[in-house]
Chain A
């Protein structure tokens, strides 16, 4: 037995580590974000049970009721529809569209980014230059084009978000994968018999996933706001469905004439949910990159 194995090691023993969940809970921001998101998700899912009234039913005799009116906690809009009920139902489309499209964009963007980082110089150069060109492209033009082709609706929103998010995610993944690719543990894996594909999947990907997740939460937040705004323009969710974005444009006319709540409550809801995703992302950043 060598002297080393006899335990004559000079170095100090390593310290203990905390579990990821414990670390997440220590971040106030992350907890706050999770709580808000949790509430919104639950409310949206249980909307039929929680909404006091039918969100699309107009009461012509109680148009523009004030906040706190009997039966209408947050008032009614121009058509007499209960704002609270519409608010409860209104988050569904936004959440659904944002989460689905961001998830899609993350998958596509990660794949493209990894390809860009590991492919040959020509392929990679061409791919990344294309992505760079698409990156800053005014997304509104895509929204308008899609609306012209598909007619306004949720698919316009999904398509626009994916178009806008994929270059963003691709660039991030490409940059990080490229850095990792140069690292010696990748070379070591090669010298230890791993194939390129195996290296991508088992060595590099775990080092990128946390970044992707963090950026993903940020993207969801941004796109909740953006899809709401597109719906406000009439490109997304169509009337008479309740949607936070649409509620803002519907409430626009009466904002200045004494019923600001119709447009403002949904705006605040959008802001809160988006911020919640941001906070969650910040909290995750501390957890995943100690």
Chain B
């Protein structure tokens, strides 16, 4: 029996000004009826380009230069748009990554569903609308009529993605291509959407090509997996097999880059790092002169938040929108002990980013107080603030926007050193900069370069270097690895753990991935809707008395291997009651 999709030797080229880039090199794929094939790779691997090439949806600059794409018995390569349209939608459906921009902003959702239904099923307007309604139900949307009359921007991310799934599925395609369908969604929603996809696929024996960078997704959904790197497939096989015993080094790296739930960086009293790297715990001094104060040994919390609230006012006079008040953080109290790594986790809209900014003194609270080492930040005058600024720093999420694109990297580290009095003059600052760069693993000579000349991971190292050059006591890290590829993420997390010991730091670590937060942190706090629901030691993640929201987060984790291990832990903990 012929496979639903057979790809052989597909090669795609991008013609950019001054260069020709081979995005896809000789890719072979095969998907059969009812099968779920996961295509895994990091950014730049060519996985999305491959998907787009199948349906002939490549951007102008790209060209397919060879290979064949067969849908059933029909060769798709070389067909013109009009001929391809026969297959698009009704034969092969596609779901895209970003539902915000993938739905037409000028039309209500109902009209888009209706038009698609009319196009493929040849129905009248009213019949098509009925079909739309039925499909909304199938994808788990309850309030049909309201949703049908809504514009895309009025709906949540999860709902938009369900609608995209409905749009792609209602014409009954034999193959669904889902390009990172859950990357932009929260963890709890992610699992629901994936399960929905599996359900729909199972009912109709639709083949699914699922593109992702997350091996947890792979493990949860697919029967077979193909790993892509630099445009070529490096490994392909049955999912269970590949996950247990990956044949290729790259696959192994990808799998081991993300910690599994239940793993911690301190286990049995010994330090561990991801990818089996050797931990570095030796104390390091950056400045030539030793730090003024002796190491503190008292128990006073280094950071104390007392009933902190933050409100934002949106709109109002002059902006053309109605005024509204958003309470991003609502009465949060928290104490950070010296030397610990405290993790804060929550879904989007939980307020964790705002809380991070409040803790890093980037924002002033509307209520309550933030105190660093006993000093209330709001009450401090300019001179005191300057002195305080040296002692705690902020590491941003996206290094691309956290660095000034027009200023040399070295200057961005050196200038604040002089400004805040850490270095007496430019020469000292330059020396300190060099040491900081080397500490984070960058060659000191790179100080003369501009941010755009670095890779994403290197840029993040620069951001970290800028923060630690001041030799602060506390670092607030706002999802420091979310914007990075999985393999780079692992090395940066290792670096952060090493630095903690080398510079004797305390961390407030904001994360969105429970497994990472559990691995990196000593204590964890869970936020939802602006409130801090609970705090607990990382060892106690599986205790049965965890808040329901925490358990929901735990449930939505997609483990890579030993799917049952998580359940095992939870069962053991429950049995102990």
Contacts and interface: CB of A to CB of B under 8 A. Distances in A.
A and B touch in the complex (CB under 8 A): yes
Interface of A: 1-5, 7-15, 17, 121-122, 124-126, 128-129, 183-185, 187-194, 203, 206-207, 290
Given A193-B416, A193-B420, A3 B455 contact: no
Contacts of A13: 443
Contacts, number: 116
Contacts of B317: 121-122, 125
A17 B453 contact: yes
Nearest to B316: A121
B283 to A, nearest CB: 10
Interface string B391-408: 001101110011111110
B74 interface: no
B394 to A, nearest CB: 5
Given A4-B495, A7-B441, A187-B362, 15 more contacts: A2-B280, A10-B457, A11-B454, A11-B488, A14-B458, A17-B453, A125-B319, A129-B318, A184-B396, A188-B466, A189-B404, A190-B362, A193-B386, A207-B404, A207-B405
Contact of B458 (A4, A11, A185): A11
A197 to B, nearest CB: 13
B455 A184 contact: no
Interface in B433-465: 438-443, 446, 449-450, 452-455, 457-458, 463
Contact of B457 (A11, A126, A185): A11
Nearest to A192: B416
24 contacts: A1-B282, A2-B284, A3-B498, A4-B439, A4-B498, A7-B441, A8-B441, A9-B441, A10-B487, A13-B443, A14-B453, A14-B454, A17-B449, A121-B318, A129-B318, A185-B403, A187-B362, A187-B396, A190-B362, A191-B361, A192-B466, A194-B416, A206-B407, A207-B406
Interface in B481-525: 487-488, 491, 495, 498-499, 502
A165 B502 CA distance: 56
Contacts of B488: 10-11
Interface string B412-429: 100110011000000000
Contacts of A14: 446, 449, 453-455, 458
B429 to A, nearest CB: 12
B89 interface: no
A188 B318 contact: no
Contacts of A126: 318
A190 B419 CA distance: 11
Contacts of A191: 360-362, 389, 393-394
Contacts of B155: none
Contacts of B449: 14, 17
A128 B318 CA distance: 9
B402 A188 contact: yes
Contacts of B407: 203, 206
Given A3-B498, A193-B416, A194-B419, A125 B402 contact: no
A3 B389 CA distance: 29
B300 interface: no
A3 B406 contact: no
Dominant secondary structure at the A interface:
loop
A3 B277 contact: yes
Contacts of B404: 185, 189, 203, 206-207
B401 A185 contact: yes
A5 B441 contact: yes
Interface of B: 277-278, 280, 282, 284, 316-319, 357, 360-362, 386, 389, 393-394, 396-398, 401-407, 412, 415-416, 419-420, 438-443, 446, 449-450, 452-455, 457-458, 463, 466, 487-488, 491, 495, 498-499, 502
The 8 closest A-B pairs by CB, nearest first: A125-B318, A4-B441, A192-B416, A2-B280, A14-B453, A184-B402, A206-B406, A185-B404
A192 B466 CA distance: 9
Contacts of A184: 396-398, 401-402
B121 to A, nearest CB: 44
A1 B457 CA distance: 21
Contacts of B442: 9
Nearest to B457: A11
Most buried by A among B282, B404, B438, B499: B404
A11 B460 CA distance: 12
A8 B463 CA distance: 19
A3 B386 contact: no
B319 A121 contact: yes
Contact of B502 (A2, A10, A206): A2
A107 B386 CA distance: 33
A193 B419 contact: yes
Contacts of A3: 277-278, 280, 498
A10 B460 CA distance: 13
A217 B284 CA distance: 52
A211 to B, nearest CB: 12
Contacts of A5: 438-439, 441
A184 B397 CA distance: 9
Contacts of A190: 362
Contacts of A203: 404, 407
A207 to B, nearest CB: 5
Nearest to A183: B401
Contacts of A121: 316-319
Nearest to A185: B404
A194 B502 CA distance: 28
A129 B416 CA distance: 37
A154 B479 CA distance: 58
A17 B449 CA distance: 9
A184 B412 CA distance: 13
B390 to A, nearest CB: 8
A165 B341 CA distance: 54
Contacts of B412: 185
B368 to A, nearest CB: 20
Contacts of B280: 2-4
Contacts of B419: 192-194
A123 B282 CA distance: 53
B120 to A, nearest CB: 41
A124 B357 CA distance: 25
Nearest to A182: B401
B174 to A, nearest CB: 42
A166 B110 CA distance: 45
Given A15-B453, A203-B404, A4 B386 contact: no
A7 B406 CA distance: 27
A128 B419 CA distance: 34
A185 B451 CA distance: 12
| Residue of A8, A9, A203 contacting most chain B CB atoms (<10 Å) | A9
B457 A188 contact: no
B452 A290 contact: yes
A4 B441 CA distance: 5
Contacts of B396: 184, 187-188
B321 to A, nearest CB: 11
A1 B453 CA distance: 27
A192 B420 CA distance: 7
A214 to B, nearest CB: 15
B457 A192 contact: no
Contacts of A17: 449-450, 453
B278 A11 contact: no
A187 B420 CA distance: 16
A186 to B, nearest CB: 8
Contacts of A1: 282, 284
Given A124-B318, A188-B402, A193-B386, A12 B455 contact: yes
